[in-house]
């Protein structure tokens, strides 16, 4: 199993790593990252991260916002918040994000030891092991991209550049990863997903959207371009697809 410490204070991170290594042999590797950008790059290059220790105060992103991104990539991983602020608002937000625990700096050795014992019990529980064995081996980066596409496919401005910027990765690297793990480039995957959503809307029996409305709802405000693209992928115009569906 792997663990990642996310903190921009190198002295703290290295010392904390030694404390963890002293108190448990559960983790094969313990990584250290100082920024959110480093984290999002590292978690796609390494094997699955099982436990994250995340400092609230990072130089390039609020720790709570980073936790939201981690949750998208690794929904099953345990996340522990580290904070130098005894702020109820931070704690409340962390609880809302369903983090595993919340530690205040300076860390008491007894608290760390107790927490590591809790983590070990959780990670080695039979229920959790059986659940994790069912998870497919997919690139964490691609999971993030696919989730963004599912959430924002209706946005006509959704493209490779703004998604790669959002995930702090190089656009060419992201495109190669998508091709490797899905068999499609980013643009091909986005187009395929939009066309499938358009098919669903064309098959609606309760609400009868016109062709232009459907195009707009799947990210193609130009009805002529939408119809041409739809035909390229289905060999039918949107109107023909709808007619065939109701026959």
Give yes or no: residues 75 and 29 share one domain. Answer: yes
Choose the final residue of a domain: 117, 133, 149: 133
Q: Give the confidence band of 131 by pLDDT, cuts at 50, 70, 90.
A: low
Q: What CATH number is attached to the domain comprising 101?
A: 3.40.50.2300
Mean pLDDT taken over the chain: 85
Give yes or no: residues 78 and 120 share one domain. Answer: yes
pLDDT of 217 higher than 90: yes
The residue-averaged pLDDT of 8-14 equals 94
pLDDT of 185 higher than 70: yes
What CA–CA distance (Å, rounded) separates 80 from 104? 11
Choose the final residue of a domain: 98, 118, 133: 133
What CA–CA distance (Å, rounded) separates 129 from 25? 18
- Please report the pLDDT score of residue 245 as a whole number: 66
Q: What CATH number is attached to the domain comprising 208?
A: 1.10.10.60
Give yes or no: residues 117 and 204 share one domain. Answer: no
pLDDT of 128 higher than 60: no
Torsion angle, alpha carbons of 214, 216, 222, 225, to 10: -50
- Please report the pLDDT score of residue 180 as a whole number: 83
The model carries a pTM of: 0.57
pLDDT of 132 higher than 70: no
The residue-averaged pLDDT of 30-41 equals 90
Q: Are 83 and 55 in contact (CB under 8 A)?
A: yes
Give yes or no: residues 198 and 114 share one domain. Answer: no
Give φ, ψ of 184 to 5 degrees: -130, 150
Give yes or no: residues 123 and 157 share one domain. Answer: no
The residue-averaged pLDDT of 11-26 equals 93
Give yes or no: residues 10 and 33 share one domain. Answer: yes
Choose the final residue of a domain: 133, 154, 186: 133
Percent of the chain with pLDDT over 70: 89
pLDDT of 215 higher than 60: yes
Give yes or no: residues 177 and 228 share one domain. Answer: yes
Does an H or E element contain 10, and which?
A: helix 10-23
What CA–CA distance (Å, rounded) separates 111 from 211? 61
C-alpha distances out from residue 123 to 28, 108, 132, 145, 196, Å: 13, 23, 10, 27, 38
Report which DSSP code applies to 60. Answer: S
Q: Which domain holds residue 80?
A: 2-133
Give yes or no: residues 228 and 114 share one domain. Answer: no
Q: Are 57 and 83 in contact (CB under 8 A)?
A: yes
pLDDT of 136 higher than 80: no
List b or e across 48-78, with b for residues whose CB sees 16 or more CB atoms inside 10 angstroms: ebbbbbbbbebeebebbebbebbbebbeebb
Question: What's the number of domains the chain is made of?
Answer: 2
């Amino acid at each position: 199993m792997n663990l990642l410490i996310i903190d921009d204070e190198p002295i703290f991170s290295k010392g904390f790593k030694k404390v963890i290594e002293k108190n448990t042999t559960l983790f094969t590797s313990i990584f250290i990252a100082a920024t959110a950008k480093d984290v999002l790059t590292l978690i796609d290059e390494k094997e699955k991260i099982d436990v994250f220790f995340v400092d609230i105060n990072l130089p390039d992103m609020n720790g709570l916002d980073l936790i939201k991104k981690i949750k998208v990539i690794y929904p099953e991983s345990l996340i522990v918040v580290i904070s130098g602020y005894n702020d109820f608002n931070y704690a409340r937000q962390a609880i809302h994000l369903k983090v595993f625990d919340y530690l205040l700096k300076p860390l008491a050795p007894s608290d760390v030891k107790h927490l590591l014992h809790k983590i070990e019990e959780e990670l080695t529980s039979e229920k959790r092991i059986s659940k994790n064995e069912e998870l497919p081996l997919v690139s964490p980066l691609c999971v993030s991209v696919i989730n963004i596409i599912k959430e924002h496919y209706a946005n006509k401005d959704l493209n490779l550049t703004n998604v790669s910027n959002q995930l702090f990765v190089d656009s060419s690297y992201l495109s190669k990863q998508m091709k490797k793990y899905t068999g499609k480039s980013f643009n091909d995957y986005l187009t395929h997903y939009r066309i499938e959503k358009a098919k669903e809307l064309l098959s609606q029996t309760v609400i009868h959207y016109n062709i232009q409305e459907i195009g707009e709802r799947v990210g193609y405000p130009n009805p002529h371009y939408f119809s041409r693209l739809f035909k390229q992928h289905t060999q039918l115009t949107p109107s023909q697809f709808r007619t065939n569906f109701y026959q």
